[in-house]
Structure 1
Amino acid sequence: MPNLSANLIQLSPPPLYEQIKTALRARILDGTYAPHSRMPSESELCASFGVSRITVRQALGDLQKEGLVFRLHGKGTFVSKPKAFQNVTALQGFAEAMSSMGYEIVNQLRSLRFVQADRRIAERLALPEGARVAEIHRVRLLNREPVSLEVTWVPEALGKRLANADLVTRDIFLILENDCGLALGHADVSIDAILADDELVDALNIEEGGPVLRIERLTHTADGTPVDYEHLYFRGDAFQYRLRVDRQKADRNTRAAR
């Protein structure tokens, strides 16, 4: 005989606050409520959806936990500026990753010069200290707003190739692969946070001392040769790096033998 109580549970609509949260989330994501715009007041939402103030507050509270809205005391609820993100589980250039998600990417080439590698850069690129390397500074604009400063060091020979390439519209990774014929293999990545200095303030249009996400990335070719050393500085209010972490479990046979 069918389980009628189970069927009734499956057919029950979601709670009212969930329905309101879903509707408001859709309006935020499709741009009906623009970033930093003021949301309708609680009383307006109550009238619009025909629900109690408690129900509206629960929906708004969940949206706040998701980072979609923020509240200012005495002023109301406002739409948060959504953060772009890049997964670090795949080796991709910034424009390569962002373009695949529909973002418009523009680069500003601030400088390209040849310098002598200090000890840190020389060690990363497996070069003698003092060897000539290309140092490239680029600002990456996401939907026409500065989101990151990219400082790249490559050996001199590769730097000369990059100097003749289109660094305004192309990722360095794609230039290395397609123009220089290098097969990129893996990258070592470290992430920390710093406070903005004068260069970052100017490049990213942020306040001095503001939080900045710093990515240190050393990219190797498929045979393990280091070719591209970078410091990537991201505005903390505009970007996220995401990764998936799986729990490593011991081999069953190994455990059984213990």
Structure 2
Amino acid sequence: MPNRHPSFDLDSPIPFYQQIKEKLRGSILDGTYPPHSRMPSESELQEMFDVSRITIRQALGDLQKEGLIFKVHGKGSFVSQPKAVQNITSLQGFAEAMSSEGHEIFNRVMSFAFVPASSEVAAKLGLEEGTPVAEIHRVRLLNRKATSYEITFVPESLGKKLQRADLITRDIFLILENDCGVKLGSADLAIDATAADAAMASALETRKGAPLLRVERLTYDVSKQPIDFEYLYFKGGTFQYRLKVDRKRPATARGQRQAKETKA
């Protein structure tokens, strides 16, 4: 029989269903309900919290929207495999963002070499084709599990400084800022999907042809000079980018006419 939870704070302005959601959320995150385990049924949760079925369904619905649980028709609700989430409303390195959420990050350096810039890399970094650049390959491990494969290109001068840096435990962004004196400004991102080839599948401990989230990122310093071009490949089901956008409403015909009249 499920244990009855402590009574609610009746004086709290927070609705019962939100209080239940937070209690269940905490039990999922602390491992009381591990990934892929079955959650208590709606009737069991009703008894645990002594509330209506509608209240329980509201709480479970919110947990499902957050991606913490999923429902199987006729079988109930199950705990999802947790995904790492990075908000891209600000420019951050992977370790920088994940560490702030309490995750453990390590990097496996696969290779570091100075190579002639391809036409694409040269165009991105504003260099002549064939100019030497540093090419760095790293596997990012999130909580000891291979999560992404990162290919980084930087100009040769910065590459020589990165060559002496700790690329196992530190983000390249933080090294550029703190060790190289580069002030980062902004980045252009392009996101699509691809399939893992044999080498990348092996590095990410997945199967050949497995789906990968691919991010192409070009980072600029504060003077708009491109200084870091990357390909980031995330193993499917392990990572999620989140972005909040606001609706920008088009000007109405009346508003456009008034603006013209004001200018006149």
TM-score, scaled relative to structure 1: 0.82
Q: Which residue of 1 aligns with 2:258?
A: 256
Number of residue pairs matched?
248
Q: Distance in 2 between matches of 1:45 and 1:87?
A: 32
**Counterpart residue type for residue 89 of structure 1:** T
Q: Give 2:182's aligned residue.
A: 182
Alignment RMSD: 2.9
* 1:238 match: 238
Q: Deviations over 1:3-60 (max 9, x none)?
A: xxxxxxx999947x66654442332233321222232345544543456777756654
Task: Spell out, residue by residue over 1:73-109, the C-alpha distance to the aligned partner (whole angstroms, 9 max, x if none).
Answer: 6765321122211122211111111112222111111
Q: Which one-letter code corresponds to 1:133 in the other structure?
A: V
- Partner of 1:85 in structure 2? 85
Amino acid at match of 2:177: E
Q: For 1:231, give the aligned amino acid.
A: Y
The 5 A counterparts of 1:26-65 are: 26-42=26-42, 44-49=44-49, 59-65=59-65
Q: Secondary structure at the match of 1:64?
A: helix
Query: Could you tell me which residue of structure 1 aligns to residue 8 of structure 2?
Result: none
> Cα–Cα, structure 1 residues 86 and 256, in superposed 2: closer, same or farther, change >3 Å?
same
Closer, same or farther: CA 228–58 of 1 in aligned 2, 3 Å: closer
Counterpart secondary structure, 2:193: strand
Distance in 2 (alpha carbons) for counterparts of 1:181 and 1:165 = 14
For 1:132 and 1:103, the matched residues in 2 are separated by 35
Q: Which amino acid aligns with 1:132?
A: P
Q: Give the aligned residue type for 1:159.
A: G
5+ residue gaps, structure 1? 1-9
Measured against aligned partners, the alpha-carbon deviations of 1:156-196 in whole angstroms (never above 9, x if no partner) come to 22111111111111111111122222222211111111122
Q: Which amino acid aligns with 2:135?
A: E
The residue that corresponds to 2:159 in the other structure is 159
Match of 1:145 in 2: 145
Q: With the length of structure 2 as denominator, give the TM-score of the two structures.
A: 0.81
Question: Which segment drifts farther, 37-46 or 241-250?
Answer: 37-46
Q: How does 1:99-118 map to 2 (within 5 A)?
A: 99-118=99-118
CA distance in 2, matches of 1:27, 1:108: 32
Once residues 140 and 64 of structure 2 are traced to their aligned partners in structure 1, the CA distance between those partners, rounded to angstroms, is 29
Give secondary structure in 2 for the equivalent of 1:160.
helix
Q: In 2, distance between residues paired with 1:65 and 1:89?
A: 21
> Which residue of 2 is the match for residue 6 of structure 1?
none
Three-state SS of the structure 2 residue aligned to 1:228 is strand
Structure 1, 140-149 or 48-57: larger mean CA deviation: 48-57
